[in-house]
């Protein structure tokens, strides 16, 4: 079974962003066009990194509205139109499943370990078994697919199917395994560093979102 809804690369990025922000910064959600553009172009938690104009983001949002994947709202305390995703109704998925799907849209194919670590910023995944249960549900619904391990790896990966051409699989990077002892130490150190960097990037992203919201309420244009 394959999903009936297919997204182009811009639609996929914007839909993933709307789901991500709804779960990570709910106080700054729904998103204005400016906020959606900034989130789509941010350099952390994105692969590939894009540079979309507001016109391109607006056009993608309009197409998502046509596919019932997003909708326009006018919150009571805002003078500008904002956008929210409609994934729960359009795809009949709950928040944890949407979080995993959004992570795959934003970052491409991932191993269960990487996917759990990254999706946990959006939804609680206390154990790997919790993630695997979500992945099985998404596979059964035709939203994701299991991939064989990448060259040099023994761990399977998972890829989303809403936008099949979003992350060409032939561009996967080969990984050359060093001797076991060195590999273990290197992997541990790299994982710790990556976790610290990602935590800092998420904190900067949260502060930037709060700053944009404050500027919007004050009518200040940020340079």
CATH code where residue 24 lies: 1.10.10.10
Q: How many CB atoms lie within 10 A of CB 24?
A: 19
- Beta carbons of 96 and 19 less than 8 angstroms apart: no
Task: Examine residue 65 and state whether it is found in any structural domain, yes or no.
Answer: yes
Range of the domain at 128: 9-218
Number of domains in the chain: 1
Task: Examine residue 3 and state whether it is found in any structural domain, yes or no.
Answer: no
Tens-binned pLDDT, residue by residue, of the chain (223 aa): 556 899 999 999 999 999 999 999 999 999 999 999 999 999 999 999 999 999 999 999 999 999 999 999 988 777 789 999 999 999 999 999 999 999 999 999 999 999 999 999 999 999 999 999 999 999 999 999 999 988 888 999 999 999 999 988 754 443 333 444 444 444 445 545 655 666 566 666 767 766 776 777 777 666 6
CA distances from 213 to 121, 162, 182 (A): 21, 31, 46
- Report the alpha-carbon distance of residue 220 to residue 39 in Å, rounded: 19
Task: Examine residue 4 and state whether it is found in any structural domain, yes or no.
Answer: no
Task: Examine residue 2 and state whether it is found in any structural domain, yes or no.
Answer: no
3-state SS, residue 149: coil
| Amino acid 192: pLDDT | 52
3-state SS, residue 56: helix
Task: Examine residue 69 and state whether it is found in any structural domain, yes or no.
Answer: yes
Task: Examine residue 91 and state whether it is found in any structural domain, yes or no.
Answer: yes
CA distances from 108 to 159, 166, 184, 206 (A): 6, 8, 25, 23
Q: Which residues of 195-215 are buried (b: 16+ CB within 10 A; e: fewer)?
A: eeeeeeeeeebeebbeebbee
Q: Which two tokens stand for residue 205?
A: 């992203």
> pTM of the full predicted structure?
0.76
Task: Examine residue 131 and state whether it is found in any structural domain, yes or no.
Answer: yes
| Amino acid 218: pLDDT | 73
Q: What is the DSSP letter of 28?
A: G
Task: Examine residue 63 and state whether it is found in any structural domain, yes or no.
Answer: yes
- Beta carbons of 151 and 174 less than 8 angstroms apart: yes
């Amino acid at each position: 079974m394959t999903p009936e809804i297919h997204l182009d690369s811009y639609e996929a990025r914007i839909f993933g962003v709307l789901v991500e922000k709804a779960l990570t910064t709910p106080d700054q959600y729904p998103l204005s066009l400016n906020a959606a553009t900034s989130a789509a172009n941010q350099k952390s938690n994105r692969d590939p990194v894009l540079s979309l104009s507001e016109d391109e983001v607006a056009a993608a949002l309009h197409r998502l509205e046509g596919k019932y994947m997003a909708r326009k709202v006018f919150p009571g305390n805002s003078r500008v139109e904002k956008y929210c995703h409609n994934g729960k109704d359009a795809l009949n998925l709950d928040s944890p499943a949407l979080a995993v799907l959004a992570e795959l849209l934003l970052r491409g194919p991932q191993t269960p370990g990487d996917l759990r670590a990254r999706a946990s910023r959006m939804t609680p995944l206390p154990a790997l078994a919790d993630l695997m249960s979500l992945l099985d549900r998404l596979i059964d619904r035709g939203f994701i697919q299991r991939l064989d391990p990448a060259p040099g790896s023994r761990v399977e990966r998972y890829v989303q199917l809403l936008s099949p051409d979003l992350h060409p699989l032939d561009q996967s990077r080969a990984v050359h395994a060093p001797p076991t002892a060195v590999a273990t130490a290197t992997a541990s150190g790299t994982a710790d560093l990556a976790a610290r960097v990602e935590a800092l990037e998420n904190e900067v992203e949260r502060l930037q979102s709060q700053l944009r919201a404050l500027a919007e309420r004050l009518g200040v244009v940020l340079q």
